[in-house]
Structure 1
Amino acid sequence: MSKRPDAAAGTPATLALTRAGIDFRAHAYDHDPRAAAYGLEAAEKLGLDPDLVFKTLLAMVDGALAVAIVPVAMQLDLKALAVALGGKRAEMADPALAERKTGYVVGGISPIGQKTPLPTVLDESAILCETVYVSGGRRGLDLELAPDDLLAVTAGRYAPIARARPR
């Protein structure tokens, strides 16, 4: 994998990875503003297995913001996130607060290069992946990198925080 910040138009995420010396690849695609699920759109447009594409979600755990990164085909288990962070209760964060604290817009929130560093948890399913794909900081841009590198740049940790979507 080679570094390709030029393809990413220098988002805070690509700049943070470059500064940290982390190997990554940027993958741009034509975002459809009518897309209902940004992560699933990325998987489809990039021709990827949805298990390799991860979405970045912000939650409040006992009143404090935290970042959860889970496969796009799954959903966040809020109770498991609370446990992973030593908390009792978690709920999804208000989208406006998420945008304000991260510096990114919903649908383009990257776990990397956020304005305010937050506790970060990556679903343990990523351990099985050579590389994962996360938002690059804008809609229509995903970054491919090793999951351990993602945790290194976000000071994150692995935990079982994803569950299957109800059918």
Structure 2
Amino acid sequence: MPAQDHPKVQKVIAALREGGAAEEHVERMQVLPDVVTTAAAAAEALGVEVGAIANSLVFDADGDPLLVLTSGAHRVDTAKVAGLVGAAVVRRAKPDFVATATGQAIGGIAPVGHPAPLRTLVDRALEAYEEVWAAGGIAHAVFPTTFAELVAITDGTPADVA
């Protein structure tokens, strides 16, 4: 089965369309020849700055999933994020927690296409880029988008997360 036909990629494509993503972004979903599970690997494969990669990171915020779409150029400050969302503790989620919340595996988590909508913060640092790239539901699928589109399709909250 070609990777673009993978059920998880198809679910992300459907969610992008349902969420009102630009059709040109949906059509530019691409499957890279190699797995890209880090922002650096994705940036290298795409020929873009690492900051233009929208990392989809799932955190455990007092037991609830929290999706943070952050620029690949920096790390999330979990104490700062806890304050932003009113959580006592925000920590990186374990793989089984991530899989349950997203239906996807770490390294390929898309901003959309999850079993249920996730509370989402979108890193304001991504706004500096005309085009950003996000994962498409598997570790070697990516699609272009914009900061504004990420906020819209995820019903996310713009935030300074680093």
Band the TM-score falls in, shorter-chain normalisation: 0.7 to 0.9
Instruction: For residues 4-38 of structure 1, give each alpha carbon's deviation from its aligned partner in whole angstroms, at most 9, with x where no partner exists.
Output: xxx94352221111223311132321124xx7x52
Alignment of 1:1-167 (within 5 A): 8-9=4-5, 10-23=9-22, 24=25, 25-32=28-35, 37-162=37-162
Equivalent residue pairs, number = 154
- Counterpart contact for 1:20–1:153, Cα < 8 Å: yes
Unaligned runs of 5+ in 1: 1-6, 163-167
Superposed CA RMSD in Å reads 1.9
Instruction: Work out whether residues 8 and 136 of structure 1, in 8 Å CA contact, stay in contact via their aligned partners in 2.
Output: no
Structure 2 unaligned regions, length at least 5 = none
Structure 1 residue 109: deviation in Å? 0.8
TM-score (norm 1): 0.83
Report the CA distance between 1:90 and its aligned residue.
Answer: 0.7
Q: What is the distance in 1 between the residues matched to 2:154 and 2:122?
A: 10
The CA deviation string for residues 33-78 of structure 1, in whole angstroms up to 9 with x for no partner, is xx7x522211111111101012111111122110011122311110
Flag the structure with higher helix content.
2
In 2: Cα distance, 1:92 partner to 1:106 partner: 11
What residue in structure 2 maps to residue 165 of structure 1?
A: none
Aligned sequence identity (%): 26
Give the TM-score of the pair, scaled to structure 2: 0.86
Are the counterparts in 2 of residues 54 and 70 from structure 1 also a CA contact under 8 Å? yes
Q: Deviations over 1:97-128 (max 9, x none)?
A: 10122111111111111112110001111122
